[in-house]
Structure 1
Amino acid sequence: MRKRTVYAWLVALLCFLVLMIVTPSIPQSQEYHDFADHRTFLGIPNALNVISNFPFLVIGLVGLVLCYHGNYFRLSLQGELWGWTCFYVGVAAVAVGSSFYHLKPDDARLVWDRLPMTVAFTSIMAIFIIERIDERKGTVSIIPLVLAGIISIVYWRFFDDLRPYALVQFVPCIVIPLMAILLPPMYTHSTYWLWAAGSYLLAKVLEATDDVIYEWTRHIVSGHTLKHLVAAMVPVFLTFMLAKRSVEPERQSLLKTWRVSWTKFREGNSNTESYSYSYTNVQAVEPQ
């Protein structure tokens, strides 16, 4: 088993090196810092993009409190506690780092916006490994995955190449929904993972349509401001999941659950009423 783990890491490293060799570097565009909404309120520049980060602070602190106050989330594994702690610390730090960046957007400040996000992304991957694959492997992977995220930020800052950071950001967006669907869960309420993934995907769409939404709403709110609010729903959904879930007695993947539900639905629609008839012999009486 240990050899398989080593082989898996070596294959992943090899794939990463090949990708870095065959793909061109991706520099940070300076147009990224030019957001649609530049309005100042109460002396705060880019006010809505700054203030809209506040929900991250709230849900991050709430999550940390619930992790440790009477073990409200009923985290039975030490690795889970460490992983969710890293996640909620990253979420809370997003509020500080992103607000700092949006006060005066540039590359130097963008580091502090992206750094806590990578901590949240990578810790979520470790948590998923604990839940769906192996507790020990997931626990051991927390520090390497978080370090990989931090290194991707350092690499971008020094070499102006976003490829490692892009992998850290988008690989969990693909892998986690697939694992949530295909691998049997340890706990109930696994669909919250998909709601969280959907929220993040919507947030990226809003980010890409920053100017368009600002025009559609007649300069009321920009796509980037909405992106912050929708992205904050990711930890909200995961917090609801932690609060509601229990140990899954019969572990089966969401895909299998959906197949069973679909089969029952089809069988229910195809059922028709059946009638039974009985026939008796009646003796015919000939007329005289």
Structure 2
Amino acid sequence: MRKRTAYAWGVAIVAFIVLMIVTPAIPQNQEYHDFADQREFFGIPNTLNVVSNFPFLVIGIIGLVLCFYKNYFKFCLQGELWGWTCFYIGVAAVGIGSSYYHLDPNDATLVWDRLPMTIAFTSIMAIFIIERIDERKGTVSIIPLLLAGVISILYWRFFDDLRPYAVIQFVPCIVIPLMAILLPPMYTHSTYWLWAAGFYLLAKVEEAMDKVIYEWTHHIVSGHTLKHLCAAMVPVFLTLMLAKRTVETERISLLQTWKVSWTKVKENGSTVERSTYTYTSVEVDESH
């Protein structure tokens, strides 16, 4: 098992090195800081982009409190508590760091927007390893993954190259939904992971359509403001999942569950179809 783990880490490191060699550097586009909605209310620059981060702070603090409130989330493993604690710290810090960035958007302030997000992303990866693969490996991976996130931000800041940060941000977006579908869960309510992933995807679309949405809404709200609100739904759904879930007695992956449900639907459809075309013989009275 240890050899397999070392082999997997080796493959991942080699793949990352090859990626860094064969792909060009990705500098920070300065147009990124030019958001559609730059209106100022109550003396706050870029008001809506600033205040729309407030939900992150709220849900981060709530989640952090519930992690330690009389075992409210009922963690089975110690590593889970550490992982979710780091996640909620990252979420709460996003509310502060992103607001700070939007007060004066530039590369220097953007560091404090992206750094908390990497903490949240890497914590989630560790949590998934703990729950779906191996508790010890997942717990041990918390610190290395957090360090990888921090290093990716420092690398971008010093070398103006976003490639490591892009890996840290987008790999979880692909891996986590796949793991949620393919690997048997330890707890119930696993579909909340997919709801969270869906809202994050929607947030990225809104971010890309910042100016377009601002025009569509006749300058009422921009895509970036909506992006903040949709992204904040990710920790909301995960918090609801933690509050509702129980230990899964039969560990079956979502994919297998869907296959069983689909098979039942097909069987029911076949039964209905057979009953629809089944005829009974009726005796005919030929005496008349």
TM-score range normalised by the length of the shorter chain:
over 0.9
Amino acid at match of 2:142: I
User: What is residue 233 of structure 1 aligned with on the other side?
Assistant: 233
Q: Is 2:250 the partner of 1:267? A: no
TM-superposed deviation, 1:4: 1.3
The equivalent of 2:163 in structure 1 is: 163
Paired with 1:149 and 1:60, the residues of 2 have a C-alpha distance of 19
Q: What one-letter code is carried by the residue in structure 2 that aligns with 1:59? A: I
CA distance in 2, matches of 1:217, 1:133: 45
Mapped to 2, the partners of 1:277 and 1:81 lie a distance apart of 68
Please name the residue that 1:216 is paired with.
216
1:249 maps to 2:249: yes
| Alpha-carbon shift at residue 6 of structure 1 (Å) | 1.2
Stretches of 4+ aligned residues off by more than 4 angstroms? 274-279
- What residue is the counterpart of 2:66 in the other structure? 66
Matched with 2:286 is: none
How far is the alpha carbon of 1:7 from its aligned partner? 1.3
Q: Which amino acid aligns with 2:40?
A: T
SS in 2 for 1:224: helix
Letter of the structure 2 residue corresponding to residue 216 of structure 1:
W
Q: Which amino acid aligns with 1:197?
A: A
TM-score, normalising length: structure 2: 0.95
Shift of 1:76: 1.7
| Aligned counterparts, 1:76-91, within 5 A | 76-91=76-91
Cα shift at 1:276: 7.6
How much has 1:275 moved relative to structure 2?
7.3
Match of 2:119 in 1: 119
Structure 2 Cα separation of the partners of residues 251 and 74 of structure 1 = 18
The residue matched to 1:28 in structure 2 has which SS? coil
Q: How many Å apart are 1:268 and its aligned residue?
A: 0.4
Output the CA distance in 1 between the equivalents of 2:72 and 2:282. Answer: 64
Change (3 A) 1:278 1:213: closer
CA displacement 1:204-242 (0-9 Å, x = unmatched): 000000000000000000000000000000000100110
Q: What secondary structure is seen at the aligned counterpart in 2 of 1:139?
A: helix
Separation of aligned partners in 2, 1:145 and 1:5:
15
SS at match of 1:36: coil
Counterpart CA distance in 2 for 1:270 and 1:106 is: 61
Aligned partner of 1:37 in structure 2 is: 37
1:179 is aligned to: 179
- Residue 138 of structure 1 corresponds to which residue in structure 2? 138
Q: How far apart are 1:5 and its partner, in Å?
A: 1.1
Q: Deviations over 1:122-150 (max 9, x none)?
A: 00000000011000000000000010000
- How big is each residue's C-alpha offset from its partner over 1:169-223, in whole Å with a ceiling of 9 and x where there is no partner? 0000000000111111111111000011111000000000000000000000000
Cα deviation per residue 1:5-57 (whole Å; 9 max; x = unaligned)? 11111110000000000000000000000000010000000000000000000
Q: Which amino acid aligns with 2:41?
A: F
Separation in structure 1 between the aligned mates of residue 207 and residue 219 of structure 2, nearest angstrom: 16
- Secondary structure at the residue paired with 1:110? helix
The 1:170/1:276 distance shift into structure 2, 3 A limit, reads same
Give the RMSD, CA atoms, in angstroms. 1.3
Query: 1:277: how far off?
Result: 7.4
Match of 2:47 in 1: 47
Give the match for residue 56 of structure 1: 56
> Number of matched residues?
279
Q: How far apart, CA to CA, are the structure 2 residues paired with 1:211 and 1:22? A: 33
**Counterpart position of 2:148:** 148
Trace 1:16-31 onto structure 2 (pairs within 5 A): 16-31=16-31
Counterpart Cα distance in 2 of 1:136 and 1:12: 19
Query: Residue 190 of structure 2 corresponds to which residue in structure 1?
Result: 190
Secondary structure class of the residue paired with 2:26: coil
Any unmatched runs of 5+ in structure 1? Answer: 280-288
Shift in Å, 1:89: 0.2
- CA radius of gyration, larger in: 1
Q: Quick one: which amino acid aligns to residue 57 of structure 1?
A: L
Give the structure-1-normalised TM-score.
Answer: 0.95
Partner letter of residue 212 of structure 1?
Answer: V
Identity percentage of aligned residues: 79
Q: Distance in 2 between matches of 1:64 and 1:113?
A: 20
